[in-house]
């Protein structure tokens, strides 16, 4: 397959930063004889092998499945989250989209809620804390009724699924000028709001998850839609509209908290 | 059966063993549960579901993963589906049929009692997943949808488009995060288990490397669950994620847990073919594609024309031809072998190492929209990787290492040969025999975590006197020192070869000599090559950087060192097993290209015992397998 295709040469300007406390900066590298069939990360692997042979530290980036589903990888290529191709994580980006002689600038996600750990790797644990604050349905193992007891209209199930395909990569935050996590948070809120199983905790979930999102230091939604445009899974802006509606409804209908009395 | 390999299969008929056993196992009262702690290594389907369920019961759980978030565990990448004997389709499915299909699919090398339990709890898994918000595919009436998978003639596979693993993992992950919120589960990310700590013969803790700081941490507990996945990355190129490793299981093995059937590996028939030397991993195209895709190879030898140029009369739909009753849904081991034969005999697609997977007829029958609805994301993934549009021309596919049926030996309670060490999911050897059927890995991971371990671990606590210990115990200090010494050694070699180059060389040996076909001469040669490779690794590896802070190369070095030792054991296991069964195909033992088992000599599990050093040959133990329900027969899909 493709054995005869011409290879290309690229210049890379890569953000290098030793750790969270150190000052970072760009360093230039050559990527030579790159096969157009290689993935972007395989191109970086080859650059790293050369660095190791020269006794230098390889460029660090998060990655794992290399199939676009685990959400580990992600950095800016020439200012675009995950690079120039739509609906594509950087591990699924292939070198055939680049031209010989191009210069590529690689930078980590920039957001104060995503501190840089090293080179292109950032700490996205804020996302886990948002899920922990309410991105679940409280059902213990062993309590479930037969799965077909509650029919779910196919359009609802399909739409819930579309929201649930978010891989938590952080491209939405990185491409938002406010570094907002609205798309990520809203996708989980919409996923569960659409399902009958998610109804009991629906209002509280919206309140808790948005509160956690703010507490993590993510900015407000910029309403520009840059997040959805950069999303490798095409999570729609409708999720954010849903979140705003859910939050409004939950806030208005929130019951006063009662204290004391009654229980004996 | 050696003394240590007591499978502890409960008495009674096959369909009442688990029910009776659940009643006979002892319980721990709620107030005492709080006093017991469990460590869970790995947060994929098995680990996350176990951590969540044990947390819900009230145990103190610590969960560890190598990733920055538990949601990134490799279960996330499973595509096609999860089996369950719901019989929602009214097509003749039952718990017994799922049990039967799985025992037969495993080529009669799995334990009947375990497989039956798996089939029983399969129905609860679907209920549990839906209750926790997993958006499985539905029909217009609002009920759940099913598709077919290989090795079965009923439709029992539940799915969420091509992202079933992702959706089930996010379900288990969210249940676990709820327990983190409630304080019953403590989550430790970017942590790798580098040793098991055994005190008074029982698993009592682990040594962990913090992958961010490089610090070595000690954690104690009353029981340890290893749910760290499989070892396909021993082949270097596989469908597994880059961080998938045998390390956690291997460290436990070196502390006394037997390793069972290491030579049982699954080579998945439908993967995107290798494109070049710098390739880092292979990508699976879900088996579900064989529901609507037809597999074929050029009928003429050396035919290098593109698919669309080859007329129907010159196409060999070989699976339909050789296996008329199962056709394109022949099980994985069988389908992979047939693809290999086509290529070996000069019928490769475009003259290369590949065959075609063609959707032309389904697109004609169903329309492009319907095909896109079923497999859209897979088609998109294929196009991204190859630059070719599978709606217009057939996919090209070839087998690749995907799953490992072998793993740490466990008894019926999923307890290893070290008391207090439990093993779940792909990391154990228990349910799939010599070949796993499609859509059964997700089922097993969740069965172990949600429905088996919560019972058997309680029983262990109720029956075992556990002294209170702390990490100041000498066993912890000793293990932590050893771990640090090993890491320092990797850093101090300062040789001339990268870790990656050793891994590639190992993978090449394994694929050539211990891959889809194996023989005595090849395996013998592989063992000596791997021994040499191990020596060279420890004297000539180049690991840059230092032990403090993030050091990816140091992490990889440890994993590759373990893979090298495992590789030798796999070859040894394959060499001794002089028969063909499932994914283990010894060229000397075949009938017309099909696997020929030797039930007289090999109707047993082989479990290997570490003898203290990589230089010493491991000891092989046997657990005899008895088949009282599904009778031993030659497996046929014709």
Q: Which of A70, A117, A123, A166 has the most B C-beta neighbours within 10 Å, making it the best mutation to test the interface with B?
A: A70
Please indicate whether, in this complex, the C-beta atoms of A71 and B72 are within 8 angstroms of each other.
yes
Q: What domains are there in chain A, each with its CATH number? A: 8-107 (3.10.20.30), 124-252 (1.10.1060.10)
pLDDT tens for residues A171-205? Answer: 999 999 999 999 999 999 999 999 999 999 999 99
Closest CA to B75 of B157, B169, B159, B161: B169
Residue A41 has pLDDT above 90, yes or no: yes
Cα separation, B562 vs B570, whole angstroms: 12
Cα separation, B82 vs B88, whole angstroms: 14
Per-residue pLDDT at A4: 52
Chain A nearest C-alpha distance from B441 (Å): 17
Q: Is B139 on the interface with A (CB under 8 A)?
A: yes
Residue B497's closest chain A neighbor by CA? A53
Q: Is B133 exposed, middle or buried (0-12, 13-18, 19+ CB in 10 A)?
A: buried
CATH number for the region B268-401 comes to 3.90.700.10
Among B165, B174, B454, select the one facing A135 at the smallest CB separation: B174
Are B584 and B561 in contact by the 8 Å Cβ rule? The answer is: no
Residue A208's closest chain B neighbor by CA? B181
**DSSP class of B195:** E
Closest CA to B366 of B379, B378, B375: B375
Closest CA to B227 of B47, B51, B45, B419: B47
- Put simply, the chain B residues between 295 and 334 with a CB less than 8 A from any chain A CB are none
Q: Is B174 on the interface with A (CB under 8 A)?
A: yes
Chain A nearest C-alpha distance from B1 (Å): 36
Instruction: Give chain A positions within 8 Å (CB) of B138.
Output: 151-154, 157-158
Q: Is B542 on the interface with A (CB under 8 A)?
A: yes
Q: Is B2 on the interface with A (CB under 8 A)?
A: no
Cα separation, B269 vs B150, whole angstroms: 11
Residue A261 pLDDT level (bands cut at 50, 70, 90): low
Q: Is B402 on the interface with A (CB under 8 A)?
A: no
Among B181, B454, B553, select the one facing A132 at the smallest CB separation: B181
Over residues A7-26, mean pLDDT? 97
Per-residue pLDDT at A262: 56
Instruction: Give chain A positions within 8 Å (CB) of B142.
Output: 151-154, 157
Cα separation, A67 vs A88, whole angstroms: 10
Cα separation, A51 vs A41, whole angstroms: 15
Over residues A136-148, mean pLDDT? 96
Q: What is the pTM of this model?
A: 0.97
Domain edges within chain B? 268-401, 474-605
Cα separation, B330 vs B321, whole angstroms: 11
Phi first, then psi, for residue B482 (nearest 5°) are -60, -45
Residue B396's closest chain A neighbor by CA? A1
Please indicate whether, in this complex, the C-beta atoms of A137 and B174 are within 8 angstroms of each other.
yes
Please indicate whether, in this complex, the C-beta atoms of B72 and A153 are within 8 angstroms of each other.
no
Which residues touch B503 (CB under 8 Å, ≥6 apart)? B236, B556, B560, B563
Per-residue pLDDT at A2: 43
Please indicate whether, in this complex, the C-beta atoms of B275 and A145 are within 8 angstroms of each other.
no
Q: Is B182 on the interface with A (CB under 8 A)?
A: no
Per-residue pLDDT at B149: 87
Residue B304 has a CB neighbour count (10 Å cut-off) of: 12
Q: Which of A22, A53, A67 has the most B C-beta neighbours within 10 Å, making it the best mutation to test the interface with B?
A: A67
Per-residue pLDDT at B205: 98
The catalytically annotated residue of B156, B191, B290, B332 is B332
CA distances from B397 to B162, B204, B271, B614 (A): 17, 46, 5, 37
Please indicate whether, in this complex, the C-beta atoms of A147 and B56 are within 8 angstroms of each other.
no
Please indicate whether, in this complex, the C-beta atoms of A145 and B144 are within 8 angstroms of each other.
no
Task: Decide if B332 is catalytic.
Answer: yes
CB pairs under 8 A between A and B: 232
Please indicate whether, in this complex, the C-beta atoms of A1 and B396 are within 8 angstroms of each other.
yes
Cα separation, B174 vs B178, whole angstroms: 6
pLDDT above 90 coverage of chain A, percent: 93
What is the torsional sign of CA B58, B60, B65, B71? positive
Cα separation, B73 vs B66, whole angstroms: 8
Chain B nearest C-alpha distance from A214 (Å): 18
Q: List, for chain B, all residue ranges whose pLDDT scores fall below the cut of 50.
A: 1
CA distances from A141 to B51, B65, B397, B439, B454 (A): 11, 22, 39, 21, 10
Residue A3 pLDDT level (bands cut at 50, 70, 90): very low
Among A67, A147, A167, select the one facing B144 at the smallest CB separation: A147
Per-residue pLDDT at B277: 80
Cα separation, B57 vs B49, whole angstroms: 12
- Put simply, the chain B residues between 547 and 576 with a CB less than 8 A from any chain A CB are 549-550, 552-553
Classified as helix, coil or strand, B423 is strand
Are B486 and B164 in contact by the 8 Å Cβ rule? The answer is: no
pLDDT above 70 coverage of chain A, percent: 96
Per-residue pLDDT at A55: 87
For B180, the enclosing helix (H) or strand (E) is: helix B164-182
Instruction: Give chain A positions within 8 Å (CB) of B175.
Output: 136, 139, 141
- The per-residue pLDDT of chain A, averaged, comes to 95
Q: Is B92 on the interface with A (CB under 8 A)?
A: no
Residue A1 pLDDT level (bands cut at 50, 70, 90): very low
**Does the domain at residues B474-605 carry the CATH identifier 1.20.58.100?**
yes
Residue A256 pLDDT level (bands cut at 50, 70, 90): confident
Per-residue pLDDT at B3: 55
- Put simply, the chain B residues between 35 and 64 with a CB less than 8 A from any chain A CB are 49, 52-53, 56
């Amino acid at each position: 397959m493709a054995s005869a295709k011409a290879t290309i040469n690229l210049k890379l300007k890569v953000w290098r930063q030793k750790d969270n406390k150190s000052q970072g900066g760009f360093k230039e590298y050559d990527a030579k004889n790159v096969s157009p069939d290689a993935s972007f990360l395989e191109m970086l692997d080859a650059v790293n092998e050369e660095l190791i042979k020269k006794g230098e530290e390889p460029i660090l980036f998060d990655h794992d499945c290399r199939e676009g589903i685990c959400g580990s990888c992600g950095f800016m290529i020439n200012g675009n989250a995950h690079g120039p191709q739509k609906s594509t994580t950087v591990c699924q980006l292939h070198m055939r989209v680049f031209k010989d002689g191009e210069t590529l600038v690689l930078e980590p996600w920039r957001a104060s809620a995503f501190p840089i750990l090293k080179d292109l790797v950032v700490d996205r644990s804020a996302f886990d804390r948002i899920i922990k604050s309410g991105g679940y349905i409280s059902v213990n193992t062993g309590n479930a009724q037969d799965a077909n007891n509650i029919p779910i209209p196919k359009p609802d199930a399909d739409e819930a699924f579309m929201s649930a395909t978010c891989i938590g990569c952080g491209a939405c935050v990185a491409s938002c000028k406010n570094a907002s996590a609205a798309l990520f948070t809203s996708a989980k809120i919409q996923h569960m709001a659409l399902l009958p199983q998610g109804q009991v905790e629906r209002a509280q979930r919206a309140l808790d998850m948005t509160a956690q999102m703010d507490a993590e230091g993510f900015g407000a939604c910029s309403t520009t839609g840059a997040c959805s445009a950069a999303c490798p899974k095409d999570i729609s802006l409708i999720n954010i509209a849903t979140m705003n509606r859910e939050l409004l409804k939950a806030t208005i209908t929130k019951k006063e908290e009662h204290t004391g009395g009654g229980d004996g | 059966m050696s003394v240590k390999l007591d499978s502890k299969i409960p008495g009674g008929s096959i369909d009442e063993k688990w029910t009776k056993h659940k009643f006979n196992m002892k319980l721990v009262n709620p107030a005492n549960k709080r006093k017991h702690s469990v460590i869970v290594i790995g947060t994929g389907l098995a680990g996350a579901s176990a951590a969540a369920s044990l947390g819900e019961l009230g145990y103190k759980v610590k969960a560890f993963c190598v990733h920055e978030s538990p949601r990134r565990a490799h279960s996330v990448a499973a595509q096609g589906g999860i089996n369950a004997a719901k019989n929602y389709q009214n097509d003749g499915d039952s718990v017994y049929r799922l049990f039967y299909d799985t025992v037969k699919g495993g080529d009669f090398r799995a334990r009947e009692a375990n497989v039956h339990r798996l089939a029983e709890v399969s129905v609860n898994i679907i209920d549990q997943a839906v209750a926790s918000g997993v958006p499985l595919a539905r029909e217009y009436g609002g009920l759940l949808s099913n598709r077919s998978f290989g090795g079965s003639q009923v439709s029992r596979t539940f799915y969420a488009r091509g992202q079933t693993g992702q959706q089930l993992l996010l379900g288990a992950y969210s249940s676990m995060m709820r327990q983190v919120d409630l304080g019953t589960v403590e989550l430790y990310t970017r942590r790798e288990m580098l040793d098991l700590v055994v005190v008074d013969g029982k698993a009592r803790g682990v040594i962990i490397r913090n992958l961010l700081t490089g610090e070595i941490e000690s954690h104690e507990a009353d029981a340890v669950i290893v749910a760290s996945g499989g070892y396909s990355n021993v082949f270097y190129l596989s469908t597994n994620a880059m961080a998938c490793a045998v390390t956690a299981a291997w460290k436990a093995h070196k502390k006394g847990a037997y390793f069972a059937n290491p030579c049982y590996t699954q080579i998945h028939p439908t993967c995107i073919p290798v494109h070049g030397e710098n390739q880092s991993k292979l990508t699976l195209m879900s088996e579900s594609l064989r529901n609507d895709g037809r597999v074929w190879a050029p009928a003429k030898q050396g035919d290098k024309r593109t698919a669309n140029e080859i007329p129907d009369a010159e196409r060999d739909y070989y699976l339909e031809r050789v296996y008329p009753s199962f056709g394109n849904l022949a099980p994985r081991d069988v389908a992979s072998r047939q693809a290999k034969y086509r290529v070996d005999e000069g019928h490769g697609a475009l003259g290369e190492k590949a065959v075609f997977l063609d959707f032309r007829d389904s697109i004609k029958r169903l329309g492009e929209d319907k095909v896109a609805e079923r497999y859209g994301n897979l088609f998109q993934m294929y196009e991204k990787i190859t630059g070719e549009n599978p709606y217009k021309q057939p996919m090209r596919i070839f087998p690749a290492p995907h799953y490992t049926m072998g793993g740490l030996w466990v008894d019926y309670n999923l307890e290893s040969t070290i008391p207090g060490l439990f093993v779940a999911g792909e990391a154990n050897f228990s349910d799939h025999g010599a070949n796993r059927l499609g859509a059964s890995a997700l089922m097993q991971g969740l069965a172990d975590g949600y429905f088996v371990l919560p019972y058997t671990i309680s029983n262990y606590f109720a029956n075992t006197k556990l002294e209170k210990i702390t990490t100041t115990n000498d066993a912890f200090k000793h293990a932590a020192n050893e771990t640090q010494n090993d890491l320092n050694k990797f850093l101090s070699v300062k040789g001339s070869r990268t870790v990656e180059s050793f891994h590639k060389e190992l993978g090449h040996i394994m694929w050539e000599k211990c891959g889809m076909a194996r023989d005595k001469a090849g395996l013998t040669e592989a063992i000596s090559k791997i021994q040499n490779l191990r020596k060279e690794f420890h004297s000539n590896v180049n690991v840059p950087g230092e032990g403090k802070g993030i050091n990816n190369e140091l992490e990889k070095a440890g994993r590759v060192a373990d893979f090298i030792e495992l590789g030798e054991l796999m070859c040894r296991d394959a060499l001794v097993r002089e028969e063909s069964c499932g994914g283990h195909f010894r060229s000397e033992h075949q009938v017309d290209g099909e696997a020929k088992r030797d039930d007289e000599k090999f109707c047993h599990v082989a479990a290997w015992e570490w003898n203290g050093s990589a230089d010493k040959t491991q000891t092989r133990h046997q657990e005899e397998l008895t088949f009282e329900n599904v009778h031993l027969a030659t497996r046929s899909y014709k």
